[in-house]
Amino acid sequence: MILHTEIADLFRSKGAKIIAEEYLFAERLPGIKALIFDWDGVFNEGLKGDGVLSPFSEIDSMGINMLRFALWLKSGIIPQVFIVTGLKNVSAQAIANRECFSALYLECVNKSFAMDHIDKHFGIMPSEMICYFDDILDVAMARDCALRMYIHRKSKLLFEKYLVENNLCDYVTMSESGEPAIREICEFLLGMGGLYNETISQRIAFTPQYKEFLAQRKLIDLQLFRFNGTDVELFTKF
């Protein structure tokens, strides 16, 4: 079995920054009930404009699925997945539907509203979440999460320094926004938790356990929410 120190050294050697104590990643994984993501700059480069798509990567999608499968293998409970974004996005809804995410929060410019809603509606506290984030608007969402995984961009050196100095992130990716940074984070967490080999081997073999995981995952119905200016409200379509 590869020790977490070896995993940490491998990722550091490629340019990642591990801010938290190494043992904390394995220690906190068993208590994780949800993954929460910003969209632009996390799933993609964050480009906007008339006719510009805001896509996602299949490489990242596989990483999310493997992390959920790994945590399910240990607890028997599939982690919920939430996307919180300041705009409407068809691509976000597409992956959320296909991968059986729990909720998509749209037009949510104050992301603390989404965190409060998740606590009340789903019964999941920030201390039970892993947050994937990349910019200033996400800090209110990330700061109290169990693990705060920051996606690097060379243009934001002072922001990264601010996060580290103020204890607002636990890991900084080697990958930049627009690269499959989500996959990097998922592989890092699987490795640090000692979960990688079993998880990947079972997925390759398409074991009965993996089939059961997929069956349970399909029971999750996506809910769409949006911020109406004062509160979060449920809606059915864009």
Structural domains of the chain sorted by starting position, each given as residue range(s) with its CATH number in brackets: 4-228 (3.40.50.1000)
Mean pLDDT by 10 residues, the chain (238 residues): 81 97 95 96 75 78 98 96 87 92 91 93 97 96 97 95 98 95 98 96 97 97 84 65
Q: Residue 130: its pLDDT value, please? A: 98
Give pLDDT, residue 91.
86
Q: What is the pTM of this model?
A: 0.93
DSSP characters for the chain?
A: ---HHHHHHHHHHTT-EE-S-THHHHHHGGG--EEEE-STTTTS----STT------HHHHHHHHHHHHHHHHHHSSPPEEEEE-SS--HHHHHHHHHTT-SEEEES-SSHHHHHHHHHHHH---GGGEEEEE-SGGGHHHHTTSSEEEEEE-GGGHHHHHHHHHTT--SEEEEEETTS-HHHHHHHHHHHHTT-HHHHHHHHHHT-HHHHHHHHHHTTPPPEEEEE-SSSEEEES--
